[in-house]
Chains A and B, each alone.
Chain A
Amino acid sequence: DTEVTQTPKHLVMGMTNKKSLKCEQHMGHRAMYWYKQKAKKPPELMFVYSYEKLSINESVPSRFSPECPNSSLLNLHLHALQPEDSALYLCASSAWGDGYTFGSGTRLTVV
Chain B
Amino acid sequence: EDKVVQSPLSLVVHEGDTVTLNCSYEVTNFRSLLWYKQEKKAPTFLFMLTSSGIEKKSGRLSSILDKKELFSILNITATQTGDSAIYLCAVEGDTGTASKLTFGTGTRLQVTL
Contact = CB atoms under 8 A, between A and B. Distances in A.
Interface of A: 31, 33, 41-45, 48-50, 55-56, 88, 90, 92, 94, 96, 99-105
Contact of A48 (B42, B100, B105): B100
Contacts, number: 58
B21 interface: no
Where chain B touches its partner, the secondary structure class is: strand
A48 B45 contact: no
B41 A104 contact: yes
A49 B99 CA distance: 10
A92 B106 CA distance: 19
Given A42-B105, A56-B95, A99-B48, A105 B100 contact: no
Nearest to B101: A100
